[in-house]
Structure 1
């Protein structure tokens, strides 16, 4: 019998209800039922509450997390799709519980430094993304006049380097260029993301088969000195700045002082800095190479302390893959980037749980934190009105990484053979479970207009 729509007493029938005894909400973990209407979360009820729905799934003791938001991913398409690509990257992301990513302006060809390049990027991504995807713009010498148009076209902010990027088409900014970029982004009301390494502190080496020689070429002072310059530029221009992939824990004190002085500065770190240590890197194992580098165990522990105390704002992958032939076995010449997009969640959880952290911390660091940073208020949280981006996660399953089983383009990762705890069982994007064997249904995102 048809229900009269004018009968306000008629019960609402939701499209989906997911129940979990371990639902991770913004205010903590508890048993709950999450009701979805269309693409959004409509109601959060008690775990045992009867809620009419067309489909109900009881996850029981599997945790229900908000979808991860990864704001630091190098998809590399167009131009270097043999390194990665939208189809392979977003498929791997979905399998790893990531429901939203923001793509970096390099190492694609052309880099996203003008609106024509952004249009090429969007065209390349069309119909290929299993998850929702946005784009950063790039700030390089000479493109200051392009930033406003990119901003108006919907990029989420701008990335720059203070030292060579590794690709010639994306050169670094000197101190004057950094000031100009800060001035422009402050006027636009957006954020400048900085790969902060000071070129005067970097050292060359002819060959570095051992990791210790490579590590000596990029000392912690390269980061701390560059971050000092970024802070000075932000003070002078009132810009909002963000430190990418913080590796050197010694920079945390100056970042904290800058915040107390009113500088709008945030910082991220990455799974590899929280899980790997310089002491454990074998000779010629260039899958471990990244810039700035993985440092010693004491530094790793200091980063964990900074994360726990809120001095580091969130954790993202800096997924920067390359073909195997660019990982030559020589740290001096190999590509500097780590592939981890699919396994960042269990990598961080394995280390976090061992340090007494819970799933609520994990969601704050890998879902809500990066969503808030990118001004994506409907992402990264299980709350009424948010997009129904959800992850069923088994926090207790122990397993071993086999690189050949991962979905990103090339089976190169320093986590090959590593024992982890925690496994993604299922991922929902805007209320529908992602099937990576089916057609992708991710959307392209734009910066929310202010």
Structure 2
């Protein structure tokens, strides 16, 4: 059954698709070839025995990461982002089509992105394409080139080179993407509602929260649902923050609308009530909302209405966060959390009686299924040997300066979190943050358009 060039990892706790148990996981050529009893006799070239406080998880798949290289690599680049991913137990990231220059809105720009990523990726990297006004003819070629789907905004993205779609342009994009059964992922906030809301300028978080009301998110999600219903396109709601939209989501799914939904660690951990005045490191769009809303999002996860948890790692240089003035209106909106997603979510999940199997479903198996990366996301025979070794009861205090992110700013600074990532394994080999980079570029399996 085994060969002398196998790796075997033995652990008293292994999170498998059917649940958690002791096991010996056998790896050959970067793929899991057997999951056996923990004390099974195996002739292996290398044997690793995890400590009694450690759990073997599948590597996480983070399908919402803004790397920003090329063009804004001082915000974040592939080397720093993928080091941060590996340090946090993430073995695959999917890069958003903005805020790089050029944005990934045609095949030429995709090739620029790939050339930037290939020599410096410490974990596997895939790419989303972008749907912007005027590029509908570029969507099928991008799909054929292997992007996992197409991101669009329904209001200003914050960068001029990635403009939003109006209602007619959204319908056109969904109609085109439905033709080849692709996926459209949507930043769903309504521009008109936000345009009529109070101005965000100032240091009070309550004023910023009022400038991005739940109604803007709820109305936009309703519009996306109806457009998906008309066109038959698969759609995905990005970074859900408003739990008020959950009944809309449930009804749409009951009607057969092809809809999936994600949320993020910051919406599941942080609360509006706890954001200090001027603490612009907490600014993101849509915003962190009240504690009651946070608990409703956790309920949505438990009920299966929310499918995945992803970071929406959206970094910037420190000066763009306006920490000196504390002006929420002027600060860049984005949370840096790629390295911290697993401990943030696990810290909150364990307080609610949830398990590591739940966390793996939301942060590994779910994003792998959403993106079609069916070769990963679980510890099972035939899957890639991408692993995270976690000490779930160990704790640490977040030090922003010690993270692998390029810019040392995060709202989690100073928090004590449960869950220390002891090591990360990519295709059966331990990832070294000192290099050389071993990550691959990954694509959606290419099919011909209908």
Per the normalisation by structure 2, the TM-score is 0.97
Could you say which residue in structure 2 is the equivalent of 1:40?
31
The worse-fitting range, judged by mean Cα deviation, of 342-351 and 59-68 is 59-68
Is contact 1:19–1:60 with CA below 8 Å preserved after alignment? no
1:150 to 128, 132, 142: 142
SS at match of 1:57: strand
Could you say which residue in structure 2 is the equivalent of 1:322?
316
CA shift for structure 1 position 51: 1.2
Could you say which residue in structure 1 is the equivalent of 2:101?
109
2:275 to 264, 276, 281: 281
Could you say which residue in structure 1 is the equivalent of 2:396?
399
2:173 to 178, 181, 203: 181
Asked if 1:57 corresponds to 2:65, the answer is no
Could you say which residue in structure 2 is the equivalent of 1:3?
none
Is contact 2:79–2:121 with CA below 8 Å preserved after alignment? yes
Could you say which residue in structure 2 is the equivalent of 1:429?
426
Task: State how far apart, in whole Å, the 2-side matches of 1:255 and 1:444 are.
Answer: 33
SS at match of 1:420: strand
Task: State how far apart, in whole Å, the 2-side matches of 1:441 and 1:332 are.
Answer: 40
SS at match of 2:120: coil
Asked if 1:21 corresponds to 2:12, the answer is yes
Is contact 1:24–1:64 with CA below 8 Å preserved after alignment? yes
2:22 to 31, 34, 52: 31
Asked if 1:261 corresponds to 2:255, the answer is yes
SS at match of 2:357: helix
Residue-by-residue CA offset, 1:140-161 (whole Å, 9 max, x unaligned) = 0000011111111111100000
2:306 to 308, 312, 315: 312
1:90 to 82, 99, 117: 82
Count of aligned pairs between the two proteins: 441
Could you say which residue in structure 1 is the equivalent of 2:237?
243
Could you say which residue in structure 2 is the equivalent of 1:365?
362
Could you say which residue in structure 1 is the equivalent of 2:123?
131
Asked if 1:227 corresponds to 2:224, the answer is no
SS at match of 2:119: coil
Is contact 2:105–2:132 with CA below 8 Å preserved after alignment? yes
**CA 206–27 in structure 1, closer or farther in 2 if over 3 Å, else same:** closer
SS at match of 1:254: helix
CA shift for structure 1 position 208: 2.1
**CA 14–309 in structure 1, closer or farther in 2 if over 3 Å, else same:** farther
The worse-fitting range, judged by mean Cα deviation, of 44-53 and 342-351 is 44-53
Structure 2 regions of 5+ residues with no counterpart?
none
Task: State how far apart, in whole Å, the 2-side matches of 1:99 and 1:15 are.
Answer: 21
Task: State how far apart, in whole Å, the 2-side matches of 1:207 and 1:133 are.
Answer: 37
**CA 19–212 in structure 1, closer or farther in 2 if over 3 Å, else same:** same
Task: State how far apart, in whole Å, the 1-side matches of 2:25 and 2:306 are.
Answer: 30
Is contact 2:200–2:207 with CA below 8 Å preserved after alignment? no
Asked if 1:353 corresponds to 2:350, the answer is yes
Task: State how far apart, in whole Å, the 2-side matches of 1:27 and 1:309 are.
Answer: 19
CA shift for structure 1 position 405: 0.2
Once superposed, which parts of structure 1, at least 4 consecutive aligned residues long, lie more than 6 Å away? none
Per the normalisation by structure 1, the TM-score is 0.97
Task: State how far apart, in whole Å, the 2-side matches of 1:292 and 1:229 are.
Answer: 17
CA shift for structure 1 position 206: 6.0
Structure 1 regions of 5+ residues with no counterpart?
1-9
Task: State how far apart, in whole Å, the 2-side matches of 1:205 and 1:279 are.
Answer: 20
**CA 85–438 in structure 1, closer or farther in 2 if over 3 Å, else same:** same
Task: State how far apart, in whole Å, the 2-side matches of 1:27 and 1:208 are.
Answer: 50
Task: State how far apart, in whole Å, the 1-side matches of 2:103 and 2:130 are.
Answer: 7
Task: State how far apart, in whole Å, the 2-side matches of 1:94 and 1:63 are.
Answer: 16
- How big is the alpha-carbon RMSD for the aligned residues of Structure 1 and Structure 2? 0.9
Task: State how far apart, in whole Å, the 1-side matches of 2:126 and 2:307 are.
Answer: 20
CA shift for structure 1 position 14: 4.5
Could you say which residue in structure 2 is the equivalent of 1:334?
331
Could you say which residue in structure 1 is the equivalent of 2:182?
190
Asked if 1:162 corresponds to 2:154, the answer is yes
CA shift for structure 1 position 449: 2.2
